[in-house]
Amino acid sequence: MSTSIKDKVVSILRRKKNKGASSVTEQKHDITLVTHAHKRMIPSLRQFLSMGTILKGKEKILFFSALIILIISTVWGGSILSSQYRIEVPAVGGDYTEGVIGSVQSINPLFAMLNDVDQDITQLVYSGLMRYDAQRRLVPDLAVKYDVSEDKRIYTFELKKDVLWHDGQPFTVDDVVYTFEMIQDEQVGSPLSVTFQGVIVERVDDYTVKFTLEEPFPLFVSSLTRGILPGHIWNEIPIDQMRLAKRNLQPIGTGPYMFERLVKDESGFIHRIEFKRFQDFYRVSSFVKSFAFEFFNEYEGPQGLVTALREQKIDGINFVPFEYREKVERKHITLHTLQLPQYTALFFNQDRGLIEDKNTRLALTYSLDKERIVHDILKNEGKVIHGPILDGFPGFNSEIQKREFSMDEANILLDESWERISADDYRTFLRDERVSQIVEESTLEEVQNNDESETLESDELEDSDAEIIVDESQVATSTVDVDQVKTDVDQELDNTLDEAQLFYRYPNGSEKDDILELTLVTAATPEYTKVAEIIAGYWQDIGIKVNIRFVDSKDMTREVLKTRDYDVLLYGIIIGSDPDQYPFWHSDQVTYPGLNLSYYINRSADELLETIRETDNEEELATLYTDLQNILLEDIPAAFLYTPIYTYALTDDIKGFDVDHISHPSDRFSNIAEWYIGTKKIWKLN
């Protein structure tokens, strides 16, 4: 309505109010008048804002009080409604970078088990027919279900039909057949080959595969958690080039994360590799948008892992050794303690002469104070063990034969075959030998260069095998400064002999320079470095000279496991969820890629290991494993030290991590699809 009409209506209402018009009939006439003047029952914004000029006194107070109450009650009611009928859920988004000691070598499930970093990444990129969930239950993954024949030799798997590779191609049974054929191919050289020896893999149809075993193997299904390769990609790569193929660093899988890029420095070292969530993942796609690994050579130092975490360049650390826990703990960092079926042991290489003697191995074992190692080095973040069967596995026995720490027992055993020589006497012996050698060599050189010396016969000069003999008179008249030679030799011995060692040993009836000397090899990690040093100290106390060789973790496979170049190896073995000990003690595993690190050969043990693989009765398995452990404890192929605790550091921005038991460090990603950083609220559906 026009402004003039509004003014008239307002004027009439005011006059009625001033005259005291209050009857119901008059009020109705007023409302009717206003309604006819303006067709809207609800006031416009302009009218609403004019209330302050229309209303007076108490009316204004009442109106605005009611308005405030309405607003508050609406907000309050809305919040109650929201809290009751809306829930907070994970949202897609956020980036996570994990710091790792080591480097990537081959992101290929056929070779990844040789490198922990590779196993971590394959867990994100690839999928297997089976998988372990966060509760360590074995469940189908790329498979829908499987059936086992009555004779327990034939396994038939039905595969999922909605699975895509990261390049968009469909996953089929041909990929499964190709993968296991490559595992079995000797040219490929996969460490997994021993598990699938004699297994026939057959294509039934596009989405059904059959495995036929030579003998029943109850744990066979657990071996099918290994990732499947895309046959349409790898078929184009010659088998003999498989290990060196570029695709090993630019993988295509069916897992929750797909490769995006890798970053190299000027020297070619890969210091970062990045992945992004695969939105077409056949299970629920991950919430964390990107996942990266940053590689480091050390924990400490300006370029170290701990510094990177403090400066928030990374969001987590794959493994935190006990000695760095206090440095890693921060306000926004959570340390997760995970139970891992792993043990650390000293593996005696019985392919080496000194270690062939059982009494020597027994003495080395008696001389180890395991309790002190766990207390002083691990700060009690570990548990002493006396055999390879761990708690929770068939055949575990807490009352097994234990060889308690005893230097006396160790010395008694060694005294039977090795004579002692004090450190001073051994040093004197070495010095005299070395000085005599240097003086003789120097004198010989003088004789050869002295024009006045006796001329050698021409036929002697022509004979390359002729020997020049220096007699005592020539040595006596030599100009060599013997005192200086002794001083130089003393300095040399200062650098080669450990003054903490009080005596040495040499074989009974043999030369004193043929001392008992061992080479102890281990990875150059903070934990193993300290453990190796304390072990060397124990062995020095029983007269053994120990040379420690530290190898970079990334070079352990190439320099140590392949060559078996050690007398004793300090190494950690991960048993995994499968209690099978075959890879570690069967005689056909003594050479690479087998993991019989002690070069242990015992036919009775072989028969037990083979029988174990054919047994599914739990009571029988426990008995067989007990018998196996007793044989190992009798033969002493290794000294079993401790089982450690695995500590994983994560920023508290990561929610949804719910893992406490793992079979391998890479299993910390078993519920990766449930991790999230951001959240959102949605209405409840019921």
Residue type, 296: F
Q: Is residue 53 part of a domain?
A: yes
CATH number of the domain within which 601 lies = 3.10.105.10
Q: What pLDDT does residue 68 have?
A: 84
* pLDDT band at 38; cut points 50, 70, 90: low
The whole-angstrom separation of Cα 574 and Cα 579 is 10
Residue range 154-175, pLDDT digits in tens: 999 999 999 999 999 999 999 9
- Quick count: other Cβ atoms within 10 Å of Cβ 514? 10
Residues 537, 409 share a domain: yes
The pTM score is: 0.66
Q: Is residue 426 part of a domain?
A: no
* pLDDT band at 10; cut points 50, 70, 90: low
Q: What pLDDT does residue 89 have?
A: 84
What single-letter DSSP state applies at residue 129? S
Give Cα 575 distance to the centre of its chain: 13
* pLDDT band at 492; cut points 50, 70, 90: confident
Q: Which residue has the tokens 């104070």?
A: 369
Residue range 420-448, pLDDT digits in tens: 999 888 888 888 878 777 777 776 766 66
Residue range 384-399: mean pLDDT, rounded = 88
Q: In this predicted structure, which of 320-329, 468-477, 558-567, 612-621 has the lowest mean pLDDT?
A: 468-477
Which of 204, 232, 251 lies at the terminal end of a domain, its last residue? 251
φ, ψ of residue 285 to 5 degrees: the values are -65, 150
DSSP SS3 for 395: coil
Greatest extent of the chain over all pairs of C-alpha atoms, in Å: 156
Residue range 278-293: mean pLDDT, rounded = 95
Q: What pLDDT does residue 88 have?
A: 79
Number of compact structural domains in the chain: 3
Q: What pLDDT does residue 37 have?
A: 53
Mean pLDDT, the chain, rounded, equals 85
Q: Is residue 114 part of a domain?
A: no
Number of residues in the chain:
686
pLDDT at 547 over 90: yes
Report the DSSP pairing between strands 290-296 and 270-277: antiparallel
The whole-angstrom separation of Cα 399 and Cα 684 is 55
Residues 136, 63 share a domain: no
The whole-angstrom separation of Cα 43 and Cα 6 is 13
Residues 225, 173 share a domain: yes
Q: How far is CA 363 from CA 370, 547, 636, in A?
A: 14, 18, 10
Q: In this predicted structure, which of 73-82, 109-118, 133-142 has the lowest mean pLDDT?
A: 73-82
Strand pairing partners for 98?
293, 316
Q: Is residue 461 part of a domain?
A: no
Contact assessment for residue 348 and residue 636, using Cβ atoms and an 8 Å cutoff: yes
- Quick count: other Cβ atoms within 10 Å of Cβ 115? 21
The whole-angstrom separation of Cα 388 and Cα 399 is 13
Residue range(s) defining the domain that contains residue 237: 127-251
The whole-angstrom separation of Cα 203 and Cα 209 is 5
DSSP SS3 for 121: helix
SS (H, E, C) 401-417: CCCCCCHHHHHHHHHCC
395 burial via Cβ count (<10 Å: 0-12, 13-18, 19+): buried
The whole-angstrom separation of Cα 441 and Cα 356 is 37
Residues 526, 636 share a domain: yes
CATH number of the domain within which 146 lies = 3.90.76.10
- Mean pLDDT is highest, among 110-114, 484-488, 524-528, 597-601, for 597-601
Q: Is residue 163 part of a domain?
A: yes
Residues 28, 132 share a domain: no
Among residues 166, 171, 168, which one has the least CA distance to residue 276?
Answer: 166
Residues 614, 545 share a domain: yes
Residues 239, 168 share a domain: yes
Percent of the chain scored above 90 by pLDDT? 49
Which of 251, 286, 321 lies at the terminal end of a domain, its last residue? 251
Q: In this predicted structure, which of 153-162, 284-293, 379-388 has the lowest mean pLDDT?
A: 379-388
Residues 521, 401 share a domain: yes
The whole-angstrom separation of Cα 602 and Cα 636 is 12
Q: Is residue 430 part of a domain?
A: no
Among residues 582, 581, 575, 571, which one has the least CA distance to residue 345?
Answer: 571
- Quick count: other Cβ atoms within 10 Å of Cβ 116? 19
The sign of the dihedral angle between the CA atoms of 587, 591, 597, 599 is positive
Q: Is residue 284 part of a domain?
A: no
Residues 624, 547 share a domain: yes
Q: What are the DSSP calls for 195-259, one per residue? A: GGTT-EEEEEETTEEEEE-SS--TTGGGGGGSPPP-HHHHTTS-GGGTTT-GGGTS---SSSEEE
Which of 58, 87, 116 lies at the terminal end of a domain, its last residue? 87
What single-letter DSSP state applies at residue 321? -
Q: Is residue 236 part of a domain?
A: yes
> Which segments of 50-100 does DSSP mark as H helices, in order?
51-54, 57-85
The whole-angstrom separation of Cα 505 and Cα 419 is 5
Q: Hey, what's the torsion of the CAs at 603, 606, 607, 609, to 10 degrees?
A: 160
Residues 579, 530 share a domain: yes
Residue range 99-109: mean pLDDT, rounded = 92
**End-to-end Cα separation, the chain, in angstroms:** 49
* pLDDT band at 456; cut points 50, 70, 90: very low
pLDDT at 219 over 90: no
- Quick count: other Cβ atoms within 10 Å of Cβ 542? 24
Q: How far is CA 99 from CA 115, 215, 319, 378, in A?
A: 16, 43, 9, 22
Tokens of 346: 């000293």
Residues 137, 79 share a domain: no
Q: Where are the beta strands (DSSP E) in 482-587?
A: 503-507, 517-523, 545-551, 568-574
